[in-house]
Every structure is written in C-alpha cells, then in structure tokens.
Amino acid sequence: MFHKEGHKIIVVTLIIIVALFLIVDTFVLIPWLNMAIMVGLLLFLLLILQFFRNPKRQTSYNDHHVVSPVDGKVVVIEEVMETEFFKEKRLQVSIFMSPINVHVTRYPIAGKVLYSKYHPGKYLVAWHPKASEENERTTVVVENEVFGSVLYRQIAGALAKRIVNYAKPNMQVNQGSDSGFIKFGSRVDLFLPLDAKINVKLNQKVRGAESIIAEK
C-alpha cells in the first residue's frame, strides 16, 4: 500500500523507467552494460516505491499514552523552552527518519487540534541544533482531557522539499491516524508536559502509531 502523496510521483517514475528500458534495449548493444543500466533503473524504482509505502499499523488507543508520530530513531530527549505556542518549558523528544524509514506522520494522541501552522525556512541537515527553529516545518498542537496538550513539529531536512500537513484547527483527530507526510526527509519533534513519563531511550528505534513515547 502506498501513500496518496506518492501516487503521482510513482506513476511518472514508472512511465520514465519503462521508456528508458525501451531506449536502452534498443540502443545499448553491449550486453553487460545493457544489464547494468536496467538493474540500476529497477533499483531506482524500488527506492521510490519503498519510500512512499504506507503500512497499516495497529494502534492501541489510550488517552494516557503518546504514540510515536513517525518511524525512526530517538535522537533527543531533553527539557527545553518551547517558544512558539506554549512559551514554557517542555520535554522534547526528537525522532530522526532515514531515507529508508516510512515517512508518514501520524497523530500522537487523539483529541482536538488547537493549532496548526506552516513555516517556510532553510534545509539544514535534520540533526543540526537549529533545524527545529530555522528549517521548513509545520507545528501542530493536539489536546485531550487526559494527557493535555502535545505539540509535534514536522521538520524538513537537507533532502526534504515538501512537508504535507492535514491538521486544521478545531479538527477532532484519532490517535495513530494519518496526519501528513514529509517528502524525502527527515525529523519530527514532540513537546510534552513536564510531568509526562518518557518510555523511550536515546538511539531507540520506534514505529509510528505503535511505539509508546510517553504516558501519564
């Protein structure tokens, strides 16, 4: 199953690959070179297909839990000052996505969307300390009565050139459901209440909609 954000790219890529196959088969007469080019084209197609995959996930719905919004590796766990929305200290958990991870973004909690804003910006590498404040990004805040307010921020990286965000203010959303996509990148930051119990460790791999990041 592929994410809807990749449908157009997949179709265009497939058409181009088929055309190149025909050209190579007609004009490249050296057998080993012909085979090498075709294998390279197939590998490129497989790379595009795996990037836009959208596997089904089994979310254990629980308003006391914050699930991971994306697949990837935990690279930051620290107390910080969140300056865009809360303007107070929060627990930040950051998850880095490599090019081979699923890049679907999912809602970490169920509830009401309080805030959703897009910020144009730079394309620093995702692990850069200033990426969260200077890169292209979207900020979304979801609130429920049990856990409170959770902010998550999609951040573009050096390769990401488009962030897709479906969250709109006043929407009622379900935990683990599709909230967006980051094309060819890169990182998501979570900002949690200070009394949240963090259930992950640095360098731990997590799965979107399934891994429990924190609880109350």
The pLDDT, as a whole number, for residue 123 is: 62
Q: Are residues 98 and 44 in the same domain?
A: no
Select which of 94, 179, 186, 211 is catalytic.
186
Q: Is residue 60 part of a domain?
A: no
Q: Are residues 43 and 123 in the same domain?
A: no
Kindly report, residue by residue over 68-118, the tens digit of the pLDDT: 999 999 999 999 999 999 999 999 999 998 878 888 999 999 999 999 999
- CATH no. for residue 191? 2.70.70
Q: Are residues 166 and 91 in the same domain?
A: yes
Q: What's the predicted TM-score (pTM) here?
A: 0.85
Helix ranges, 28-94 (H)? 31-51
Q: Are residues 39 and 128 in the same domain?
A: no
* Domain count within the chain: 2
Q: What is the mean pLDDT of residues 179-206?
A: 92
Q: Is residue 58 part of a domain?
A: no
Q: Are residues 41 and 70 in the same domain?
A: no
Q: Are residues 103 and 127 in the same domain?
A: yes
94 belongs to the catalytic site: no
Q: Is 184 exposed, middle or buried (0-12, 13-18, 19+ CB in 10 A)?
A: middle
Kindly report, residue by residue over 108-161, the tens digit of the pLDDT: 999 999 999 999 877 666 555 665 666 788 999 999 999 999 999 998 866 655
Print the domain residue range for 36: 4-51
